[in-house]
Chain A
Amino acid sequence: MDLPILSIVIWLPIAAGLLVLALGSERSLLGKQVALGATVLTFVASIPLYTGFDSSTAAMQFVERVPWIERFNAFYALGVDGISMPLILLTTFLTPLVVIAGWQIIKLRPAQYFAAFLLLEGMMIGVFAATDALLFYVFWEVMLVPMFIIIGIWGGERRIYATMKFFLYTFLGSVFMLVALIYMYLQAGSYAIADLHALPLGMNEQVLIFFAFLIAFAVKVPMWPVHTWLPDAHVEAPTGGSVILAAILLKMGGYGFVRFSLPITPDASQALDWLMIALSLIAIVYIAFVALVQNDMKKLIAYSSIAHMGFVTLGFFVIYSAVTNGGEEGAQLALQGGMVQMISHGLISGALFLCVGVMYDRLHTREISDYGGVANTMPKFAAFMVLFALANAGLPGTSGFVGEFFVILGSFQSSFWLAFFAATILILGAAYTLWMVRRVLYGEVRNEGVASMPDLDGREFFILAVLAVSVLLLGIWPAPLVEAMDETLGSLLLQVTQSKL
């Protein structure tokens, strides 16, 4: 079987997006149907990536390679390994849900809305699938364009401020990466990521390149102190935008760290792991306190995303001290934890934003104080929201627990205090999420608005149910995911602990 699956899952949504755009908003029902059909088809097309995935090798699979810019020795080269395959599936899985979520709500230029998400989907998959750094960069940057439009047109009140900030922040982050990539191309004579991994680099070069990558990826993750764009962008984005932003765009930062920073600059990563660990801990502890005092539900979840992504970066950079103090096993566990956390956070934060979206569609406010006693009028909804909130707090049996538990175990190998601070998120996370749940869902019905809120309709029920099942499934039975990544992460660990000097 030689179907170019990766090309199909990249270009099918992009082509469908252009078609929806061409249909225009006058025929928006047809456009929506095309959008839904294309995203579902893309998901179906991406399933073979999992079923046909050979988890016994760390090599790139489903490889495609066509000359692209001969002058720069750049290829249209695609491939997936245990790191990128789950992220691609996450993308193809969530996009249809986002399309369904926007089905009735989007009244303003619906064709452009759905087209933007379709284009975005193809570009995001391109980022994960590219094995050529120039191609990666092209997808990485062009992705900003539909996101800029999505926040700017369909966002909330301060949407223009938010979207400009989002674009400029992320653009500033990535241009330094471009300079670093060109620099390495001149040394290696190729943009292939594998060649960059093998490129010998001196310590000074590594440190500079490490920082160039750090700016790019830290802005995307986002890490403290360059996280300030995220709450603005999240709060002002439409529900679908928030879901994609939290569930997938943030993962690109984490993906960048494991794909570029760690293997290309292993010595700089080792030398500077204290910095990364410190930044991650600040994100985990400090941002969790910030989340505690938010009055806006979306802002609260946005801050909780930053804290949870702190776990991911902690897992990735704790490996060096885990290897020195404990052993390879702990390091492997930490890496796995970071990866599982990315997938699980994608599902949970997406689901929480959808929950807020459900309430916002009814009452048009995100203020926690405007709600109260929602569980009385919307019992089904409340059940889902409580589940996702508990998952966000890391309840065993949900996917949120697995990733965090792995990372904490890994950190224990490194140092007790590290694990101690990391574990505080379990407490603080429970505190801010459950406190929000209590104020919003329980108690007396606060006002007329809440009293008249209808419970979930079939469409909303379906989306939340699908997400709930996947959160539970991943929590109870994470083995398939962990196994798929195992070999790749093992070889990555070998690679990153080997000095390039």
Chain B
Amino acid sequence: MIDYSLAAPEIFLTAAICVVLMVDAFLRAEQRRWTYTLSMLALVGTAICSALFGVDERLTTFTGSYVADPAGDVLKLFAYLIVALVFLYSRDYLEENGLFKGEFFVLGLLGLLGVMIIISGNNLLVLYLGLEVQSLSLYALIALNRESARSAESAMKYFVLGAIASGTLLYGISLLYGMTGTIELGPLAAQLAEPGGLNVPTVLALAFIVVGVAFKFGAVPFHMWIPDVYQGAPTPVALYVGSAPKIAAFALAWRVLVDGLGPLHVSWSDMLIVLCVLSLVIGNLLAIVQSNFKRMLGYSTISHVGFILMGFIAGTEDGIRFAMFYTIAYVLMATAAFGMILMLSRKGFEAENLEDFKGLNARSPWFAAVMLLIMFSMTGVPPLIGFYAKLVVLNSLLEVGLVWLAALGVVFAVIGAFYYLRVVWYMYFNEPVETAPLAPATDLRVAISANGLLLLALGIFPGALLNLVARVL
């Protein structure tokens, strides 16, 4: 008996994407706002589906290859919110720069569909499928601006590296299937938990799978694509790449490593420790020398990934929860940071260099204050959400006795503080180079302010989000 209702949001979104695509084909350029409105409505509709067909317990359907659970529902709802924010932040920028095309929204929604499939995948092949849906949308999105050689270059890079990573992942999956005869996560875990489950071929397969997951996260040494894509892609696309797919990366790691390969925790946690340490070191040190703000955010992502991995390394129930908490916190911060770039940009002017933030406090004290909140949150200064994100993952590391890794983490958090502080320094201590007044649309203004203040509100009352994460996962 197949229960289609568990996949209602995905089914609805797929249908909605087709509608948006069809309608968009018949719209004239000046009517393009309809595509935007319809896409937003599609997101609202999907959210309603998720709310209506939400589950209180873990249920599977499609003969066990598809799972619905409360944690998945929360992640999906959060992903809708983020994609809606991405569309909202991007709208004016796209219009001004001649990129306001239906493809952006259709591909954006398709990417979201991929994210949702990954969140709900209970079978290695379904997970792979979701990954490909998402990645293919991203490849095309990055090359959206076909005039820009840089965009094309970064899309190529991402595509080639992404294809290799997908291949690696698939190879690992096939090895595992050969060893155990199953690709479904539950039975896989059961088989691996049996005595003799941990042997050389499975660890080999595991290594390939970890590479695939690390690539999605952008953990060092599989991070090469991140800075190039962040810098090369049109800023709205960089915003998209930096936000929703991170949720997918968390979900992929959680489903594959914890649900499926949980019994091999001893093996993969060692691999993740290497990735984590390298990400902290390389991410933070290279971010310091960047002058391009988007590229700096790319390296900062890499360092944050190091912290997310800490939760997985601990491997406890709390560890995974706190990794989820960190992911949510990080995505909120990254969305806000890219949103600020989009807001400061105008026709023909990209506020992508650190220099462009000079004197923001003189131009607009309010947005400088919002940006200050974002930067201090990324630094990990209380009472902002970024602090609690670090607090909880450090907590789970200390719980399993990895004091040295926690100490290393905080040292690199201090090193990382430098480049976030530099943004604050440019905004507050320098006089503006650029004097054009800031005139963002009202909804954009409200949304980005709310996004920034949310970092503070969740920081003053972190209990709500912590409880939510603990209840669902």
Contact = CB atoms under 8 A, between A and B. Distances in A.
Interface of A: 21, 24, 68-72, 109, 112, 137-138, 141-142, 144-145, 148-149, 152-153, 159-160, 163-164, 167-168, 171-172, 175-176, 178-179, 182-183, 185-186
B126 interface: no
B466 A71 contact: yes
B407 A168 contact: no
Contacts of B413: 175
B132 to A, nearest CB: 37
A186 B414 contact: no
B411 interface: yes
B151 interface: no
Contacts of A21: 365, 369
Contact of A152 (B383, B411, B428, B466): B428
> Which 8 residue pairs across A and B have the least CB separation, nearest first?
A175-B410, A138-B382, A71-B466, A152-B429, A172-B414, A69-B463, A141-B382, A138-B383
29 contacts: A69-B463, A69-B466, A71-B466, A72-B466, A112-B365, A138-B382, A141-B382, A141-B387, A142-B381, A142-B382, A144-B381, A145-B372, A148-B421, A152-B425, A152-B428, A163-B425, A167-B417, A168-B417, A168-B421, A171-B414, A172-B411, A175-B410, A176-B407, A178-B394, A179-B394, A179-B407, A182-B391, A182-B406, A186-B399
Contacts of A145: 372, 376, 381
A168 B414 contact: yes
Given A175-B411, A175-B413, A168 B398 contact: no
Contact of A186 (B381, B398, B466): B398
A178 B381 contact: no
B323 to A, nearest CB: 15
B470 interface: yes
A70 B395 contact: no
B70 interface: no
B440 interface: no
Contacts of A149: 424, 428
A122 to B, nearest CB: 12
A167 B387 CA distance: 16
Interface string B344-379: 000000000000000001000100010010001000
Contacts, number: 86
Interface in B400-439: 403, 406-407, 410-411, 413-414, 417-418, 421, 424-425, 428-429
A183 B466 CA distance: 19
Contact of A179 (B365, B382, B410): B410
Contacts of B467: 70-71
B421 A176 contact: no
Contacts of A160: 425, 429
A164 B421 contact: yes
Interface string B383-397: 100010001001100
Contacts of B406: 179, 182
A183 B456 CA distance: 26
Interface of B: 361, 365, 369, 372, 376, 381-383, 387, 391, 394-395, 398-399, 403, 406-407, 410-411, 413-414, 417-418, 421, 424-425, 428-429, 462-463, 466-467, 470
A24 B362 CA distance: 12
Contacts of B414: 168, 171-172, 175
B221 to A, nearest CB: 26
B425 to A, nearest CB: 6
A186 B395 contact: yes
Contacts of B421: 148, 164, 167-168
Contacts of B424: 148-149
Contacts of A178: 391, 394, 410
A183 B398 contact: yes
Nearest to A138: B382
A206 to B, nearest CB: 15
A262 to B, nearest CB: 23
A164 B425 CA distance: 9
Given A71-B466, A153-B429, A178-B391, A183 B403 contact: yes
Nearest to B422: A164
A179 B372 CA distance: 25
A216 to B, nearest CB: 12
B393 to A, nearest CB: 10
Contacts of B399: 186
Given A71-B467, A152-B425, A24 B365 contact: yes
Nearest to B318: A71
Contacts of A176: 407, 410
Nearest to B412: A175
Nearest to B369: A21
A57 B151 CA distance: 70
A96 B162 CA distance: 60
A211 to B, nearest CB: 11
A408 B303 CA distance: 50
A118 to B, nearest CB: 15
A148 B411 CA distance: 20
A55 B429 CA distance: 46
Nearest to B399: A186
Contacts of A70: 463, 467
Given A141-B381, A186-B398, 12 more contacts: A69-B466, A71-B466, A148-B421, A164-B425, A171-B414, A171-B417, A172-B414, A176-B407, A178-B394, A179-B406, A179-B410, A183-B398
A68 B407 CA distance: 26
Contacts of B365: 21, 24, 112
A57 B255 CA distance: 56
B410 A137 contact: no
A213 to B, nearest CB: 14
A258 B382 CA distance: 23
A178 B393 CA distance: 12
B328 to A, nearest CB: 15
A170 to B, nearest CB: 10
Contacts of B383: 138, 142
A137 B398 contact: no
Contacts of B376: 145
A142 B365 CA distance: 19
Contacts of A153: 428-429
Contacts of B418: 164, 168
Contacts of A171: 381, 414, 417
A140 to B, nearest CB: 9
Contacts of B395: 72, 182, 185-186
A69 B382 CA distance: 14
Nearest to B373: A145
Nearest to B382: A138
A69 B462 contact: yes
A149 B428 CA distance: 7
B204 to A, nearest CB: 36
Given A178-B394, A183-B398, A137 B382 contact: yes
Contact of A71 (B381, B394, B398, B463): B463
Contacts of A144: 381
A213 B369 CA distance: 32
Contacts of A109: 361
A205 to B, nearest CB: 10
Nearest to A25: B365
A160 B398 CA distance: 36
A72 B396 CA distance: 12
A179 B381 contact: no
A137 B407 CA distance: 17
Q: Which of B369, B383, B467 has the most CB of A within 10 A?
A: B383
A297 to B, nearest CB: 24
Q: Which of B369, B381, B387, B407 has the most CB of A within 10 A?
A: B381
A72 B470 CA distance: 12
Nearest to B390: A178
Contacts of A68: 463
Contacts of B381: 141-142, 144-145, 171
A171 B391 CA distance: 15
Nearest to A160: B429
B312 to A, nearest CB: 18
